[in-house]
Amino acid sequence: MPTPSRSLASLAVSGALALSALWPLQAHALFGDDEARKAIVELRQKVDANRQAAEAAANDSRENDAATRRSLLDLANQIEQLRGEIARLRGQNEQLAREVSELQRAQKDVQTGIDERLRQVEPIKVELDGQAFTAQPAEKRDFDAAMDALRKSQFDASTTAFTAFLRRYPSSGYTASALYWQGNAQYASRAYKDAVATHQRMVTEFPQHPRTPEAMLALANSQVELKDTKSARRTLEDVVKKYPQSEAAVAARERLTRLR
């Protein structure tokens, strides 16, 4: 589509040519030959000047169009470069986000591992048989394993486990309870002498423990099995005397009547 400058230039040239065609007829009517020639020369000079101006305007327009196209091309290249840079930065951001996520996950795994190791070594609070104390996780695990064997009626295995426990943890808060249940496991295994020794140790070392009156009843049972009625009667009498308000004292009185 022609530009406005080109249209104007074309109209100017066309107009000039039309005037040059009409001028000789008018010149002959009004002036002489010399004057007519002079007018024609001037008119042609004007036409040439107008044509040159029109061509210059057209050249300027073409140059402006070329400059505009170059500017648009440069702008498109810049936009494409910016898009590439944005894509590159987006990729870097995504990579950084993945790395941060991996670091956070690794940190969480490390913290979980540390917490797990701490749980394995940090003392824990224990409440057993009316007593509160602290114990190592391994200590609790070993006691629970011995109790689990006893619940399954694995009396020999339970006795062995309690023996190992008492040797491994001589100052444990579990000691009194371990002696009580070890004595019961020995009684169930018919190891009456061992049961007597175990329960006697508990009664001597832990006279205030809530399980001690029951341990004395179990001690008397073992003594009866060993045909040591005299010792059994004395043990039952001690239960009544030392722990008169206990349920064990009620049971001890009943057994005393059967021993007479």
- Matching residue, tokens 């029951």: 214
Lowest mean pLDDT among 17-26, 77-86, 97-106, 239-248: 17-26
| Extents of the domains making up the chain | 4-104, 124-259
Whether the CB-CB separation of 248 and 216 falls below 8 Å is answered with yes
- Residue 94 identity (one-letter amino acid): E
Fold of 124-259: 1.25.40
| 22 has a pLDDT exceeding 70 | no
Q: Give CA–CA dist 5/62, Å, rounded.
A: 10
189 Cβ partners below 8 Å, 6+ apart? 155, 156, 159
Summarize pLDDT for 102-140 with one digit per residue, the tens. 888 887 877 776 656 655 668 999 999 999 999 999 999
Task: Please tell me the least confidently modeled range out of 48-52, 109-113, 136-140, 142-146.
Answer: 109-113
Residue pair 180/147 in contact (Cβ under 8 Å)? The answer is no
Residue-wise DSSP of 122-170: S-EEEEETTEEEEE-HHHHHHHHHHHHHHHTT-HHHHHHHHHHHHHH-T
> Is residue 164 scored above 70 in pLDDT?
yes
> For 82-93, what is each residue's pLDDT tens digit?
888 888 888 888
- Tell me how far apart the terminal alpha carbons of the chain are, to the nearest angstrom: 136
User: Quick check: helix, strand or coil at residue 207?
Assistant: coil
Q: How far is CA 30 from CA 16, 17, 18, 20, 39, in A?
A: 20, 21, 19, 16, 12
Amino acid type, 242:
K
